Structure 1
């Protein structure tokens, strides 16, 4: 805790004073560039990753960057998504998974979360991810590769769940919103994006089409 307190003092003394005018302008409201949905994992810093300033990124964090389908839980996730799209009028939504995701490891190995009933229940919203990996990639036995594939498949599954939210579906229909699927490899700094034309994750700089422009199909086995 002392490290956190010292960090606040350092922020107030150094960074806030440098950007005070920026923070003062935020009193008038926020106009974020995108809604960024990612995992709660402490190894991910969305603002640092995207090099965005306060007011530029609306962030939602959940275990495994899970987006429960609309109506299954009318809680913080649905409210955040609806507010970002309907009130803040974001033009883009990114769902960003990451390497070595503990939630996805728990999805593949249920005994890891046996004593965490809330986590186990929440992971049910990624059941489609588990079934896709189990039934279509049974030949993939290497644990590291299997986890990486699960992280990627889960991003795509959660993008489909995102489409069930009425505000999202309506905005996509009007052409006002685009969806993007990313995976961040934090140990190398690489970011991969799903390319609907190639039907696979590619380095971010090589992808030009958002996922929302085409329906996703299952990658070849």
Structure 2
């Protein structure tokens, strides 16, 4: 905890004095412009990658950035509930599915063995369609196909499909390379991931 407390003290000393008014405004309510569905991996921080301030992103993090299928029967649908809240209540303008290089969740799904970690095998089994699409067994290809899979599943949510079709919501796929810090975006025209330029 000493490291975390030191980080908090740095925040109070260096960030808070300059952003006090911003946080006071956020205390009255949030209005994020983007929902990011990202991996829980500690190496992939959406706020750091996109250089945003508090209040700009609504972030859902789970193993392998998975969007589950749209389901209405009983159960605990934490990811789906957060998606619904961001889209319906917060009225975000876009949803970014952010995958990444060397994803442990994708690797676990590709291993096709029962994990000793509780809940993990069932969760990553949701990536099976992406694995079947990528016959070569290339992890990078599966990572990218998993992003396409999640984008497709988002469109099975009626409240998302409606907003995409009327032009009030945009769906975006992105892949972050940990090894060199580069970001690639999915081109909706040809469904190919293309690297984003480092400068404007």
TM-score normalised per structure 2: 0.92
Gaps of 5+ in 2: none
Q: Secondary structure at the match of 2:27?
A: helix
- Equivalences for residues 161-172 of structure 1 within 5 A: 161-172=153-164
Q: Which residue of 1 aligns with 2:149?
A: 157
- Equivalences for residues 185-200 of structure 1 within 5 A: 185-200=177-192
Gaps of 5+ in 1: 206-221
Q: Which residue of 1 aligns with 2:109?
A: 107
Deviation at 1:74, TM superposition (A): 4.8
- Equivalences for residues 43-62 of structure 1 within 5 A: 43-62=43-62
Q: Which residue of 2 aligns with 1:8?
A: 8
CA distance in 2, matches of 1:114, 1:172: 37
Q: CA RMSD in A?
A: 1.7
Q: Which residue of 1 aligns with 2:127?
A: 126
Q: Deviation per CA, 1:91-121, whole angstroms, max 9, x where unpaired?
A: 110001000000000111123x521240001
Higher helix share: 1
Deviation at 1:161, TM superposition (A): 1.1
Q: Which residue of 2 aligns with 1:80?
A: 82
TM-score normalised per structure 1: 0.84
- Equivalences for residues 90-101 of structure 1 within 5 A: 90-101=92-103
Q: Deviation per CA, 1:147-200, whole angstroms, max 9, x where unpaired?
A: 111100000001111111122112112211110000001221111111122331
Q: Which residue of 2 aligns with 1:22?
A: 22
Which one is further off, 149-158 or 160-169? 160-169
